[in-house]
């Protein structure tokens, strides 16, 4: 398995199956602002509210190739092993990303447990050995990587954009980028302003 971050803006994501697990996967996608299509003859009660809020698109039917052929990522979480396997095999042949939630070797992607702190995302995977352990490790990291990181990551992002735009010399860029990443700035938000003032005085915006 190879971990990678993927931009899914404007990509269609389909979940086949509408049970408890589909609901959990849908809520997880929503943490990332993703509105999924759900294909299933019936739905977990929680879906009604999500649909009313426009956070999910429901299709009341059994899954067929037509429902997923234009999808970028497909999650197979029906309790129909034959349907799951058939769609997984076709989708993989067509080069799609496929999560097979029951028999992982029939898919080619897996969902990790993720801690989100603004632009910091910490993903934990056990490659299917123990999703429970992934979840536990993620939960343990919550205290170490607490809410301070939300704003700190904004600072790092903004300074990086500025540095890339206004400093040409690579050694100089590295110097300023490494300085910003010192944990000192995590714990001293007021010092971030001093850093920015110094940066913009040495390298003024044109």
Using CB under 6 A, list all residues that contact ligand NAI: 16-22, 39-42, 62-63, 77-80, 83, 101-102, 131
Among ligand SHN, ligand NAI, none, the one that 42 touches (CB under a kind-dependent 5 to 8 A) is ligand NAI
Residues 69-108 contacting ligand SHN, CB under 6 A: 99, 101-102, 104
Asked if 153 and 119 count as a contact pair (C-beta separation under 8 A), the reply is yes
Tokens of 189: 């938000």
CB of 145 to ligand NAI, least distance (A): 24
Spatial distance between the Cα atoms of 142 and 137, rounded to a whole number of angstroms: 9
Q: Nearest approach, Cβ of 149 to ligand SHN (angstroms)?
A: 18
> Is the Cβ of residue 103 or residue 200 nearer to ligand SHN in the bound state?
103
Find the shortest distance in angstroms from Cβ 165 to ligand SHN.
37
Q: Which is nearer to ligand NAI, 17 or 159 (CB)?
A: 17
Under DSSP, is residue 123 helix (H, G, I), strand (E, B) or coil?
A: strand
The residue of the chain with the least Cβ separation from ligand NAI equals: 19
Helix (H, G, I), strand (E, B) or coil at 168: coil
- In the bound state with ligand SHN, the residue whose beta carbon lies nearer, of 122 and 153, is 122
Least distance between ligand NAI and beta carbon 25 (Å): 7
CA-to-CA separations, 35 to 15, 28, 76, 99, 206, in angstroms, rounded: 11, 10, 16, 17, 40
Among ligand NAI, ligand SHN, none, the one that 82 touches (CB under a kind-dependent 5 to 8 A) is none
User: Exposure of 68 by Cβ count < 10 A (0-12 exposed, 13-18 middle, 19+ buried)?
Assistant: buried
* Distance in Å, CB of 1 to ligand SHN, minimum: 9
Q: What residues contact residue 6 under an 8 Å CB cut-off, 6+ apart?
A: 97
User: Is 61 exposed, middle or buried (CB count within 10 Å of its CB: 0-12, 13-18, 19+)?
Assistant: exposed
Interaction of residue 115 with ligand SHN, rule CB under 6 A: no
Binding-site size for ligand SHN (CB under 6 A) equals: 20
Q: Which is nearer to ligand NAI, 101 or 199 (CB)?
A: 101
Picking from 60, 1, 8, 15, the residue whose alpha carbon sits closest to that of residue 34 is: 8
Q: Which residues bind ligand SHN (CB under 6 A)?
A: 25, 28, 99, 101-102, 104, 110-113, 125-132, 134-135
């Amino acid at each position: 398995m190879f971990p990678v971050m993927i931009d899914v803006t404007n990509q269609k994501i389909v979940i086949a199956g509408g049970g408890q697990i589909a609901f959990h996967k849908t809520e997880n996608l929503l943490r990332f602002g993703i509105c999924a299509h759900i294909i299933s003859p019936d739905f977990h009660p929680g879906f009604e509210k999500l649909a009313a809020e426009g956070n999910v698109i429901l299709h009341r039917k059994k899954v067929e190739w037509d429902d997923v052929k234009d999808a970028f990522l497909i999650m197979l979480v029906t309790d129909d092993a034959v349907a799951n396997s058939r769609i997984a095999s076709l989708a993989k042949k067509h080069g799609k990303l496929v999560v097979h939630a029951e028999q992982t070797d029939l898919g080619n992607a897996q969902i990790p447990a993720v801690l989100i702190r603004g632009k910091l995302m910490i993903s934990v995977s056990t490659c299917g050995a123990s999703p429970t352990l992934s979840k536990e490790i993620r939960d343990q990291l919550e205290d170490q990587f607490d809410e301070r990181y939300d704003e700190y990551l904004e600072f790092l992002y903004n300074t990086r954009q500025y540095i890339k735009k206004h400093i040409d010399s690579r050694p100089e860029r590295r110097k300023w980028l490494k300085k910003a990443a010192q944990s000192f700035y995590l714990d001293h938000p007021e010092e971030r302003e001093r850093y920015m003032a110094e940066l913009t005085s040495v390298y003024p915006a044109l």
